[in-house]
Amino acid sequence: MHILVSMPSHQGDKARDWAQALQHRLPTAQIAIDTGAPVDQTVDYLVTWQPRAGLLAQVPNARAIFTASAGVDALMNDPTLPHCPVVRLCDAGMGDQMASFALYAAFHYWRGFDRMRVAQNRASWSPDTGAVAPRPSVGVLGLGALGQVTARALREAGFPVSGWSRRKRDIDGVSTYAGSAEFEEFLAQTNLLICLLPLTPDTHHLLDHARFAAMPREAVVVNLARGDILVEGDLLAALDNGHLRGAMLDVFATEPLAEDHPFWAHEKVVVTPHIAAETLVEPGADQISDNINRIERGDKPLGAVDRDAGY
């Protein structure tokens, strides 16, 4: 059994960590780290994140491709993707991290810390904490594994929580909406939107001028998913005309964010450098090795991507 681990060149240490963790769990496997050179042997399983150009075409006989993250858009958008199962990680330590980020955002805007930040930049003493304001209604956009963990954490923290997904989900204490017919209704009652959708052709630029206008005045957008899900120019316009109160953004259409991008200096925008949730190697290796063993036994892997849906 040959396994190839491929990570971006700037993450050489991470590739080594993955290879060592998988070797510990699959001691008889031959595991190699991608060096960027042509692949000169048959690869049974590829473990990757943001594969380098041309790599997928070099593993045409792979029995499965595992992404070391919850997102699979970098794979699905490659026309040379082999016709084998593509398997994503389900949580792998990311759920708690994503939920904590969402909780921070909810408390940040509920307690008015965004306004205090602006006041500080203007050297203005403004002791309005917003403590008497009701908790905002939080809407979780995308109710996969990470979205469900996040929705439950927000509910347990006392926020009114709703959620939207392509297919109907039932989550105790969370009002759920599904499908395009219920999307506008979901947005209309959401004061703080947490985006956790996968990037697919259907979600590309989903959050645009019309969707921002459908949200209540003074609503907030928090994007922890993929930058191309929202239209950056439309978001800036909605912030500048006062319809939206603020935005907290961890992902962007182009990363790293350009030094001259208006998000950096905008007083209504909080920027973080794609750090909302990092895959933890040990639980990720548990999932991947378990799925490899399942495939070797002739069973189907858990977390296989629906190619038609794109996630």
Q: Report the C-alpha gap between 250 and 67 in whole angstroms.
A: 20
Are the C-beta atoms of residues 72 and 304 closer than 8 Å to each other?
A: no
Tokens found for residue 1: 């059994």
Alpha-carbon gap, residue 127 to 10, rounded angstroms: 44
**Alpha carbons within 13 A on the beta-carbon side of 202:** 12
Let me know: does 121 contact 267? Beta carbons within 8 Å. yes
* HEC-encoded secondary structure of 57-77: HHCCCCCEEEECCCCCHHHHC
Cα–Cα dist 142/207, whole Å: 13
Sign of CA dihedral 158, 159, 162, 163: negative
In contact, 195 and 172? CB cutoff 8 Å: no
In whole angstroms, what is the distance from residue 54 CA to residue 66 CA?
Answer: 17
Using alpha carbons, select from 90, 88, 63 the residue that is nearest to residue 295. 63
Catalytically active residues are 226, 274
Selection from 260, 261, 245 nearest residue 105 by Cα: 245
Distance CA 48, CA 57 (A): 14
Q: What are the backbone angles phi and psi of residue 113, rounded to the nearest 5°?
A: -65, -25
